[in-house]
Structure 1
Amino acid sequence: MTSIRFFHVADLHLDSPFKGITSMPDHQLKILRDSTFVAFQTLIQSAVQEKPDFILIVGDIYDGEDRSLRAQHKFQQGMEVLNNHQIPVFICHGNHDHLGGKWTRFQLPSNVHVFQKKTEKVHLRIQQQDVYISGFSYKERHVKEAMISSYSQANDNEAIHIGMLHGSLAGDKTHDVYAPFTKDELISKNYDYWALGHIHKRQVLHMEPPIVYSGNIQSRHRNERGPKGFYDVTLEKGDAQLTFIQTSAIIYDQLSCSCKDIVHANEWFAIIEEALDQFRSKYGAAVLELKLTEVDASTLAMLEGTPMDEWLSMVRESQEMKDPLIWVQSISIETLETIDMESSGLTENVISVMNNWDIKDWKEIVSDVYQHPRLSRFMETLTEEDYKNIERSASAFLQKELIVKE
């Protein structure tokens, strides 16, 4: 049986504005803002080197309806490189780069096929193997109806059938729901591979047949942690091999650092620098949330003696001249349980009240910030996990503040 090889890519979000980053020096901010382009270039270089039979790009090439001229130019140049190496590309546009958006039209080379608003099926012949690729592009930003019924049934058992779909698993409320589908609906089409886009978390929903989200190629904020990239897929009838290829130029993550038995500031700075250097050598450039663990009463008293903003500023200063870039976005403290037990009745009463708040209550608490006419447009929508993190941080803050003052 003949196998084929292709790259499954989605959610490039070229020229993303990178919300939520504050205080970063201009030269470092430029590195961050260029990271989607660096990730895209890594994809192009990988294709030139590995020469897959074709590439699938499953939506959201750009970050919004008003595509920047730079993003469009970079993308067109990348497609020209692939054309020079005779690598076909199949594109379906998603909710961020829908067909109705505003853009300066660049003519894409002949190796690129762009699916239109009506679902269609394209035929390829690869080493005596018939391959059919089906997909559609969003005609507008909000495609709420299920589109799976528009995909034809795969009846030719000798050919390889691939579906491209930018959409959401029905019932998943963690993201905006577009073009919803169920796994059973996809399986029933008898396709050999479903290449999904829209959800930025890399995941395999089903393996026989593969129903796969490749995730985005570059993290853009704190909720998109870990390495990002695409899948290099080798596929034949009844078998698929998926290899993850990292493209992310900068990783967003949380780094835990033990402060056990730390009583002096120089000791603290030493363990923090060591932890950051180890992360850098393993993963490269990053935006990190630093989490201090095993913090006892002595360490807590030392840290509380100076505003946390000063500790954060000193950590950032220690990393300024190091390459690749590591930007510490925040520092949080996780105290030992023995400290928690010493908290006052007042602390426990306040925390108990907070524990009874639901998502609606927390939305009201933060509404002044998220309804601000100027600030709100620069802020990401909070998820249920974000609200849980706010609750945990508030509890830890109350414990530290009241313990130190007692």
Structure 2
Amino acid sequence: MAQLHPDRPQTELDSRQLVTRLLLAFGLGAYASALGTRLLDPMMTLIGTDFLAEPRQTALLASAFALPYALIQPVLGPIGDALGKRRVVGWSLLGLAVSALLCALAPSFWWLFAARILAGLTAGGTMPLTLAVFGDSVPLVRRQVAISRLLMFAIAGQVSGGALAGVLAPLLGWRGVLALSALTALAGWFAARGGPAEPRLPLNFGQSFRRTGTILANPAARLLFGAVFIEGCLIFGLFPYLGPLLVERGLGGATQAGLSIASFGLGGFLYTLLAGIILRAIGQSGLIRLGAICVAAGLLSVGLASTLPMVPAGTILMGFGFFAVHGSIQTRVTEVAPHARGSAVSMHAFWFFLGQSIGPLAFGLLAAPAGVLPAVVLCGAGILGLGFYLARR
């Protein structure tokens, strides 16, 4: 019988060598994309001071990135399938560098808001299509571990985003930090160039939308897309409010918020190191349950924090738990439509970032009348329910 993917490696050594080559080509791009995603969160107080903006207004900058990231996915997925996923990843990284520079030069809040929209649109072509490349190239038996290695670069970007913003913003200002992120995206574009030639196919959006309809008709796809939407909304709504929360409780400011957000990434690093061991011990369903419990516990720790260490301790738990759940969902998504993997993974990213864009708004509405603690309790309960439901499927 002919193999579905004859170009895939057939031995363990071949698999390891292929994953290494893919990581060298796309790791820096994943780092740069993740760096820009949460870079502004620890600096919201500084940006608000510069532009005389209230916390609710500066929190819109998170949605300004996440919502365009989501909305561009139904377009970029089919473009990647037609013109080549690697090619579109490269173009997107170049656009991300330009948009980050425009953010750094913003003369007003609404200029910054518009530049963040552009950053979200361009970043939308990086990580989702990179995941699709891994899905095309790496056999399913090794895919979740391979994706966890790619996530190490993305997590490093998140850690650096929080740490650089927290530590360097007082020295370079938020504009200098954004300029550094532009240089990083440019380096990612350079690393992603080259690689094997990809065939060009006719770009037919009518056919692409019909293919998207076919994907959405798959019950497994609908379950996974709904899960990442809820996950993005419940987990990431807190972060834009972390800096103001620390200031309000007398626990710190931008530096402490940045290090706490970086700790979320450290939890993700812990996941990448332990993913293979945990999968062998308790399987994917057990990993999802464990991840949901960790997220809920982490949210509660932040909500109850009366001392500073409780905040990074909570975000470490949140990071481990998030990547445990999210990595399992990502692996399942790469198999829901093997012949249109770019479109499937882009739809996954659409729902995930749509959730992230709504999360800060929803969290603000919950926290305004009742406070942070009831809001994080509700978010934690939602994640627990989601995780235990997914684990049974």
Confirm or deny a common fold (TM above 0.5).
no
Classify the TM-score, shorter chain: under 0.3
TM-score normalized by structure 1? Answer: 0.24
Comparing both chains, which one has the higher relative contact order based on Cα–Cα distances under 8 Å and sequence gaps of 6 or more? 2
**Structure number with bigger Rg:** 1
Task: Identify the structure with the greater helix proportion.
Answer: 2
